[in-house]
Structure 1
C-alpha cells in the first residue's frame, strides 16, 4: 500500500492511494466477514410487537456474548464505582439505549463497509476517493481493526508481538498493516483545510 495523497480541488479534496492485489483481496475478505458478523447480530434480534406497529426498529436489549461483537457494539453507559443506584440502573439504561440505537449503529457500520467495498479496486491498483468515501474507509477499517484486535486480545497498551508458535501470529501483522493504512488515511483527512 502506498501512502495516501490528498489532492485539493475545486470540487473538494480527493484522496489517492493504491493497493497490491493481495492487499485488496485481504481487505475485501475482512470487510465481508465484518458485514457478515453485523448481519448475524441484527438477524438475531428479537421481534418486538410495538416495533411492528410503529415501524420504529428496535434491537437487542442485551450486549453480545462474543468479545469481538462486544468491541464493535459496546455498552453505552459505564457505571461509576459505588453509584448510589447500583449496577441495576446502569444495566437498565444500557438495555434501553441498546434496543433503541443498535439497529442504526449496525446500519452505519454496514454502510461504511459497503462503501469501502464499492470504491476499492477489485484486483488492486490505483484508486481515488471523495472525502465522504475516505471517511467511510476510515470507519470501516477501524471496525475491522476493532474486531481483529478483540480476537487477538489487544488491549489499550497495544501488542508488539505474540508468543512464538501462537496460532494467530500472522493476524497481528494484518492488524498492524490495517493500523498503518488507517493512520495514513486519517492524517490525510486531517490535512490542510
Structure 2
C-alpha cells in the first residue's frame, strides 16, 4: 500500500492511494468477515412485540458471548461507574435501543470500504466521507484482530517465528499503518 496522498480539488479534498492485489483481496476478506459477524448478531436478536407494533427496531439486551463481537459492541457502562446492578440494567436498556443503529453504522462503513476497494488492487480515491468510513471500518477490523491476538497497551509487538498467529499480527500492524496514514491525510498533516 502506498501512503495516502491528500489532493485539494474544487469539490473538496480527495484521498488517494493504491493497493497491491493481495492487499485488496485481504481487505475484502476481512471486511466480509466483519459484515458477516454483524449480520449474524443482528439476525439473532429476539423478536419484539413493540417493534412489530411501532416499527422501532430493537436489539439484544445481553452482550455478545463471543469476545470479538463483545469488543465491537461493548457495554455502555462499567459496574465501577454506577454499580453492578445499575450497570446491568442500563446496559440492557441501552443495548436494546441502540445496538441496531450501531450495527448499521459499522456495517455501512464496512460496505463503503468494500465498494471502494479496487478489484484486483490498483489506485483508489476517496472523498472525506469515504475516508471516514475507511477509518471506522479499519478500526473495527483492528479491534477484532486485536481481540483475537490479545493485544493490550503493552503489545505484543512481535510473536516468535513459527507462532500460529504471527501472520495475523503482521496484518494488524499493516492495518494500523493504513489507518494512521489516512487519519494524518484527513487531518491535513504530512506523513512521516
TM normalised by structure 1 equals 0.95
CA distance in 2, matches of 1:92, 1:167: 40
| Candidates 171, 180, 190, aligned match of 1:183 | 180
2:79 counterpart SS class: coil
Residues 113-161 of structure 1, C-alpha deviations (whole Å, 9 max, x = no match): 1111111101101111111111100000000000011011111223211
Answering whether residue 6 of structure 2 is matched by residue 9 of structure 1, we say no
1:18 counterpart SS class: strand
Residues 41-94 of structure 1, C-alpha deviations (whole Å, 9 max, x = no match): 00111110111101000000000011100110000011327x5xx311110000
| Candidates 114, 126, 148, aligned match of 1:117 | 114
Answering whether residue 50 of structure 2 is matched by residue 53 of structure 1, we say no
Task: Report matched runs for 1:28-107 at 5 Å.
Answer: 28-80=28-80, 86-107=83-104
Residue of structure 2 in register with 1:154 after alignment: 151
TM normalised by structure 2 equals 0.95
Root-mean-square deviation (Å)? 1.2
1:128 counterpart SS class: strand
Unaligned runs of 5+ in 2: none
CA distance in 1, matches of 2:109, 2:92: 25
Deviation at 1:112, TM superposition (A): 0.4
Aligned residues: 189
CA distance in 2, matches of 1:134, 1:13: 10
1:64 counterpart SS class: coil
Unaligned runs of 5+ in 1: none
CA distance in 1, matches of 2:162, 2:125: 39
